[in-house]
Chain A
Amino acid sequence: MVEYRIDRRSGVATYLQIVQQTKQALRMGLLEPGDRLPTAREVVEATAVNPNTVLKAYRELEREGLVEARRGLGTFVRATLGTGPADSPLRGELTDWARRARAAGLEREDVAALFTSVLKEHFEGDE
């Protein structure tokens, strides 16, 4: 079972926080196919978040094929989310790149800004 932590000051929409935290739990293996997500009532009671927001997040996860709602029973995990293994070639390339960026004198924040802007360029409209 996951427990959601809602940060009202983060600037990230609440339903997206629920979507992202569910995905994170899937990536980490904390949620596996067949597991039940907390009911809207349980989430609302623990977080004081609007019930419709929870339902919106669950609909979004359902649309992405990650969970399914079973009438009267709850919402269940259908799929896992793969993450590149820690030693994947992609990670290696990124590590090299970060090393070069640092050698070139970039600060951590410069690197983060650069990375974010490239992410934005290539994944525009995915969220």
Chain B
Amino acid sequence: MTDPVIEADGLGMRYRRRGGGWALKDCTLALPAGRVVAVVGPNGAGKSTLLGLAAGLLRPTEGRITAPTRDRLAYVAQDKPLYGQLTVAETLRLGHELNPDRWDPAAAERITGPLPGNARVRTLSGGQRTRLALALALGKRPELLLLDEPMADLDPLARRELMGALLADAAERGTTVAMSSHILTELEGSCDHLLLVQDGRIRLDGAIDDLLAAHTLLTGPIADLAPHTVVDSRTTGRQLTALVRREGPVEGPWETAEPSLEELLLAHLRPTEGAPA
């Protein structure tokens, strides 16, 4: 295992406005370098806050978080802030001037490819702005790339193309990528590590393969599922369907299967039957 690239310990963040609630609370994690991390959770769960803290743009209310310094990380915020009056070419030149030691024009131009260099940023569509923002981030050759809802503005074709380019670049240079989304299908297959955030807390953290292998989806007669930890269960007539985190092998009259990532996430996000929501 390599050294973690992001480490948080008892991290909490409270907004002064918005009624003073906790956006993030008791968050402890260590993300290994070289992973492509899916930061998943419902709207308002704390995903953006976590990414903003990792980027050093927000200051924690309590606890601490360590991540690479500003010059070695790139952060693409949800609203893709760019200068509207600059052209595409000028924006790239600015990227070069702000990162004189690290800038790689080829990496940036692979992403901007179809954009006209003399177009002003304010005339670009949402998808084109996303492209330019990603080009700026990749041109910087970061060790850590933080992307907040990166694909929201893109059509499926551009999404596939940019995700492919992003991952190819990460594969070549061992970049750690953390990207948030509330749309799971956007990330499934592209990520190898999962951070599930819900109500400002980390619900799941681990390699996706390990998490899937640790859980079992079972269907069969209603019976006590101890010693396994029940994540989600529902009954229909005489049939029980449950997703459990296993404690030892599952023995009993059940059909068992490894859950899909979607099943695992939904099970964790759904309030359990009979339990307080």
Residues of chain A touching chain B, judged by Cβ–Cβ distance below 8 Å, are: 6, 8, 11, 14, 40-42, 44-54
Contact check, A49 vs B168: say whether CB atoms are below 8 A apart. Answer: no
Least CB distance from A46 to B in Å reads 6
Residues of A within 8 A of B164 (CB): 44-48
Q: Which residues of A contact B163 (CB under 8 A)?
A: 48
Q: Report chain A residues within 8 Å CB of B190.
A: 48-50
Taking chain B's interface residues, is the majority helix, strand, or loop, or is none over half, making it mixed? helix
Contact A44 B171 (CB under 8 A): yes
* Bound-state Cα–Cα, A120 to B187, Å: 31
Question: Do B168 and A50 touch (CB < 8 A)?
Answer: no
What are 13 residue pairs bridging A and B, where the CB atoms are less than 8 Å apart in the complex?
A: A8-B185, A8-B188, A11-B260, A41-B168, A41-B171, A44-B164, A44-B167, A45-B165, A45-B168, A48-B189, A49-B190, A52-B36, A52-B192
Please count how many residues in chain B sit with their CB below 8 Å of the partner chain's CB atoms. Answer: 18
Q: How far is the CA of A52 from the CA of B167 in the complex (A)?
A: 10
Tell me if B170 is interfacial: C-beta within 8 Å of chain A.
Answer: yes
Near A by CB (< 8 A), chain B positions 125-175 give 160, 163-165, 167-168, 170-172
**Contact, CB under 8 Å: A51 / B170:** yes
Residues 63 to 104 of chain B near chain A (Cβ within 8 Å): none
For B269, the chain A residues whose CB sits under 8 A away are: none
Which residues in A have their C-beta under 8 angstroms from that of B191? Answer: 50
> Considering the chains assembled together, what is the distance between the CA atoms of A6 and B188 in angstroms?
12
With A6-B189, A8-B185, A41-B172: A51-B260 Cβ-Cβ less than 8 Å: no
Nearest-neighbor residue (CB-CB) of A53 within chain B: B192
Which of A11, A48, A54 meets B160, CB within 8 Å? A48
Nearest B residue to A7, CB-CB? B189
Cβ–Cβ contact B36 & A51, under 8 A = yes
Residues of A within 8 A of B189 (CB): 6, 8, 14, 48-50, 53
In the assembled complex, which residues on chain B have CB atoms less than 8 Å from the CB atom of A11? 260
List the B side residues contacting A47 at CB < 8 Å: 164
Partner of A48 from the list B35, B167, B260 (CB cut-off 8 Å) is B167
Q: How far is the CA of A49 from the CA of B36 in the complex (A)?
A: 11
Closest chain-A Cβ to B216's Cβ sits at a distance in Å of 15
Query: CB-nearest residue of chain A relative to B161?
Result: A48
Inter-chain pairs besides A47-B164, A53-B189, 7 sampled, C-beta below 8 Å: A45-B167, A45-B168, A46-B164, A48-B190, A50-B167, A51-B170, A52-B35
Across the interface, which residues of A come within 8 angstroms of B260, CB to CB? 11
Residues of chain B within 8 A (CB-CB) of A53 are: 189, 192
Q: How far, in whole Å, are A122 and B188 apart by their CA atoms in the complex?
A: 32
Contact B188 A49, beta carbon cutoff 8 Å: no
> In the complex, A86→B167 CA distance in Å?
41
Given the complex of chains A and B, what is the CA–CA distance between A66 and B232 in angstroms? Answer: 41
For A40, give the chain B residue with the smallest CB separation.
Answer: B171
Q: Could you tell me the distance between the alpha carbons of A46 and B189 in the complex, rounded to whole angstroms?
A: 13
Complex Cα spacing A11 to B259, Å: 9
> How distant is A69 from chain B, measured CB to nearest CB, in Å?
15
In the complex, how many angstroms separate the beta carbon of B114 from the nearest chain A beta carbon?
Answer: 16
CB distance from A20 to the nearest CB of B (A): 16
B270–chain A nearest beta-carbon distance, Å: 20
Which residues of chain B have C-beta atoms less than 8 A from A14's C-beta?
Answer: 189
Bound complex: CA A50 to CA B35 (Å): 9
User: Complex Cα distance A55/B221, Å?
Assistant: 40
**Closest CB in chain A relative to B162 CB, distance in Å:** 9
Distance, CA A8 to CA B188, complexed state (A): 8
Q: State in angstroms the CA–CA spacing of A86 and B35 once bound together.
A: 45
**Nearest Cβ distance between residue B252 and chain A, in whole angstroms?**
19
Q: How many whole Å from A9's CB to the nearest CB in chain B?
A: 9
Report the Cα distance A51→B192, complex, angstroms: 9
Cβ–Cβ < 8 Å partners of A46 in chain B: 164
- When chains A and B are docked, how far (Å) is the Cα of A52 from the Cα of B209? 11
